[in-house]
Chain A
């Protein structure tokens, strides 16, 4: 929940009209039995955001594969196949396209509330800098 509020703060401060945020809500803990209520969805009110309910954690699986494909198999930080990607924020720079598979993000970190400062720093630079 704090991650959603942190994202909203970030969007409020960003003036970039081409910025888009895809907010994927997914069940992770036992209380996540239903899609987010209106009060939860209201935490991200920026018009540049799109909100989705991903009951089957399909996007998390896509993102996990993208991260794994981008890392060497013997990398100690490479996530296991059973890792659930959640409370994370990923940056995709302009030009990055989702073809057959979701591409690896230019930046990803978790939890959102902790990562958001670095995301803001990258967004405040040139778009290309977001990739660094």
Chain B
């Protein structure tokens, strides 16, 4: 049994923990779909870093913009 004076803090802690868990699960598993007509989102790492270079060079006939952004 939880003493009466601790029930409220315990309930609040449980609610906050639940919200954090749900938000974390959403961020982890939510879909990452690019708009229609674009290639799927590429997850760059040392192993496929060359992908960007190949795509960059494949478009050598035109102007290319390289834009670096933070998702939040």
Contact = CB atoms under 8 A, between A and B. Distances in A.
Interface residues of B, number: 38
Contacts, number: 174
A130 B63 contact: yes
At the interface, is chain B mostly helix, strand, loop or mixed?
A: loop
Interface in B15-72: 27-28, 30-39, 41-46, 49, 52-53, 55-57, 59-72
A41 to B, nearest CB: 5
Contacts of B57: 97-98
Contact of A26 (B37, B65, B68): B68
Interface of B: 27-28, 30-39, 41-46, 49, 52-53, 55-57, 59-72
Interface of A: 1, 3-4, 7, 16-29, 31-38, 40-42, 44-47, 49-56, 58-60, 63, 85-98, 102, 105, 112, 119, 123, 127, 130
